[in-house]
Structure 1
Amino acid sequence: MAKILRLPLILIVTSALGACGLIYKPTGAVLNHLAQDEVVPHVYASDDLDMSACGTGLGQTQLLGSFGRVMDAPSRVLLNTHTLAGLCSEAAAQEAQLHFDRALHAGHTTEARDARIQAQRLYQRTAERRLKVYHDTENAFGKIGDGKCPTLGSDTEQMEYLTGLLTSVQAVLSDIRAGSSVGVPQDIAARAARATHCLDNDKWWGVPNALQAVVWLSVPGTAPNGAQPWQQLKAAADLGQSKGMPMAAMLYAEAGYGRSDPQRERDGIRQVAKIYNAGNGPKDYRIFTQVAYREAMFLSDEIWTQKTGQRTPFLNLGTFPGDDKKQNDDSSKVDVDSLLN
């Protein structure tokens, strides 16, 4: 009798499990469309980079990516979530790098070595996530830098393509910081630079031309005859300033850092601070303003920490050690011991 009753139970359970399998694919399709149509624009307009990067980026990547087991992987959505996850791990890597700078400034060599190892591990993770963005970009839009442009309809699609190109270049740079431990193909940067012509430079705040010039400066042999990368970068940064977007100015500062040109690095940081403080950026893309600001702040923090052992004084982005103007905010004069006692 027990065997007779067990058979229908097995059939019911099997049918239920089969039914679950049938709903995974449409559920994935619905979530993919929701993320693409609503979540992505919502994140682009956010001014909370930490929540977007370490909340949405880390929290949604595995959920949405898992539907690639039952349907085509939602590459456009994953392009965004992997980008955000990379920004999250990069922020942690930058904090470890600043720890290294502080320890080195104080003469604590063992602590400095340990912080350097931690930074390299985190840059390795960042490079891995950014390499996934490169693959997501090609899965979503086709091979980049092959002379053909994808069909880019909406502004969101165009921004995603630009994000994919920019993050692909950053994958190479993050891997270099990690001792080339991930093995990100070096030709990605050159191909991303070639693909920037698929985007309207004026519409997207000078970022396509700025990215192209950064690659020309960073990868030997990629600049065409007669190219003037620094002039192109500065023009792009000024165009971005006219539109309230500091991304191109941030790339100018990064190029100065990468080329060991402290004057251009500082000029780029100052321009980012000026654009950011004006508060005239495009409201639908505030997250990119925040990305530019944070990267400029990290470059500034490194300058300050290497010189003084402390990061940029509060609300003083754009000032540097040795400037004639006031270097520290009033809080630096507070007697901390008296507050703690």
Structure 2
Amino acid sequence: MILLTLLGCLRGPVDHLTTQRVVPAALRVPDVDRVCRTGGALGYALVAVPRRTPHEALVIADTTAALCDEESARALELEALLHRREGRIEAVRDAMEAGRRVRRRAALRHASAFAHTTARWDWIGESCGRVKRDDQLTFLVGLMAGTLAMLDDKATGSEVGVPLDTLARVGRAARCVDSATWWEVPATFEAAAWTLVPGDAPEGVDPWDAIQEAARKGSAGGVRLGWALVAVLASNAGREAIVRTALAESEASFASTPAPADWALLDAFAHDLLQHEADMLGIREQGYRPAGLTLPEPSPLPAPAPTDDPFAEPTDDPFAEEP
């Protein structure tokens, strides 16, 4: 109520306050759970302000609110996998249905964030207009929302109906900001579209090589969102070797390179996505979550001692003398 009152009393645009003050502060907090709950509360306050729609502010509010749903959906997915290992079919079905419902809510929120993105920058997907330097982070969050909307909707069987051209639009829009300035995240978004839209990549470019190269450059600067996207896309495509590469390289990056201050929240979100993929692999192979992002190599069985005779007659007398 206090937040709503303050926003209603503002003389200046709500977008300016949110993108210049609230957004930078929120993105410096490496606590996804805390920020996603704040995003949900902020969204309700913003839509109640009786002035022009604050599109940029709602991009952030809807995207961060959806992160809570993403977290719940991942937990339910792991729960279903554990039940499957135990042969509890009814529990598997229940967890999967609960997860589908949460994914649907996440898809709706991400789709709303992307809709606000395209309302603010109405040229997205068609051409490249100007994105002011101070607005570029919000712009990229909106492109991330479009990508996640498509992936979440796909997980529900396309219940929400996110337009099929969303990823292609995201990929084209990603070219409109300098990729090197933003730790190659735009290049990752563009290559992500290539992996999912057949024939969209330039001739002679392997989409999976391109997205891994962009992720590798980004992680060198402490931004692992690219590797998180690689892991999710590769997992959906059944490319386990690429998932393992993403986990190993991102774990090394986390250990050696801190995230830039303005990227702390999104880097924490990236870690959550990567940890989920590691947990899925760990539960499938070992029945439990790994301690880190990568799974230990299975221990080889010990070789038989040279003096052991595999054809010797068994004896019940442990004290029998050797012949």
Identity of aligned residues (%): 27
Distance 1:62 1:28 in 2: 19
Aligned to 2:3: none
Aligned to 1:107: 87
> Cα offset for 1:304?
1.1
Unaligned runs of 5+ in 2: 1-5, 301-323
- What are the superposed Cα offsets for residues 178-227 of structure 1, whole Å, 9 maximum, x if unpaired? 11111111111111111111011111111111111111111223223222
Equivalent AA in structure 1 for residue 67 of structure 2: L
Distance 1:81 1:273 in 2: 29
Aligned to 2:59: 79
> Cα offset for 1:176?
0.7
Equivalent AA in structure 1 for residue 59 of structure 2: L
Does the CA-based 8 Å contact 2:110-2:148 persist in structure 1?
Answer: yes
Equivalent AA in structure 2 for residue 319 of structure 1: L
Does the CA-based 8 Å contact 1:97-1:115 persist in structure 2?
Answer: yes
Equivalent AA in structure 2 for residue 122 of structure 1: V
- What are the superposed Cα offsets for residues 253-275 of structure 1, whole Å, 9 maximum, x if unpaired? 22321221111101101112121
Distance 1:64 1:229, change over 3 A: same
Does the CA-based 8 Å contact 2:220-2:257 persist in structure 1?
Answer: no
> Cα offset for 1:247?
1.3
1:40 aligned to 2:19?
no
Indicate the RMSD between aligned Cα atoms, in angstroms: 1.9
| Residue correspondences, number | 295
Aligned to 1:267: 245
Map 1:153-302 onto structure 2 (within 5 A): 153-155=132-134, 157-302=135-280
Distance 1:30 1:192, change over 3 A: closer
> Cα offset for 1:321?
6.3
Map 1:4-153 onto structure 2 (within 5 A): 26-27=9-10, 29=12, 31-53=14-36, 55-67=37-49, 70-147=50-127, 149-153=128-132
Instruction: Identify the structure with the greater helix proportion.
Output: 1
Does the CA-based 8 Å contact 1:304-1:320 persist in structure 2?
Answer: no
TM-score by length of 2: 0.86
Distance 1:200 1:160, change over 3 A: same
> Cα offset for 1:79?
0.1
Distance 1:118 1:321, change over 3 A: farther
Does the CA-based 8 Å contact 2:282-2:295 persist in structure 1?
Answer: no
Distance 2:39 2:248 in 1: 29
Distance 1:188 1:153 in 2: 23
Distance 2:296 2:230 in 1: 17
**1:182 counterpart SS class:** coil
Unaligned runs of 5+ in 1: 1-22, 325-341
Equivalent AA in structure 2 for residue 114 of structure 1: D
TM-score by length of 1: 0.82
